[in-house]
Amino acid sequence: MASKISVKLVRSTIGQKPKVAATVRSLGLKKLNSTVEHEASAPVLGMVAAVRHLVEVKEIN
């Protein structure tokens, strides 16, 4: 079974490049402090790495 991660948007996308804002939206994060859960797959981890300065990540058991 793949592990899951919880991703929380802690900084705004205002002033960020459009590609960064699109990555945040594609992760399912809409508003500040919103949280989503994803499987820890390679594509998702890559998106999280691209916006690591805006999000907080926790592993879920």
Q: Which domains are seen in the chain, by residue range?
A: 4-60 (3.30.1390.20)
pTM above 0.85, yes or no: yes
- Number of residues that this document lists for the chain: 61
DSSP for the chain, please give it: ---EEEEEE-S--TTS-HHHHHHHHHTT--STT-EEEEE--HHHHHHHHHTTTTEEEEEE-
* CA 34, chain centre distance (Å): 10
- For the stretch 28-41, pLDDT in tens is 999 999 999 999 99
Predicted confidence (pLDDT) at residue 1 exceeds the cutoff of 80: no
Question: Quick check: 1 and 32 in contact, CB under 8 A?
Answer: no
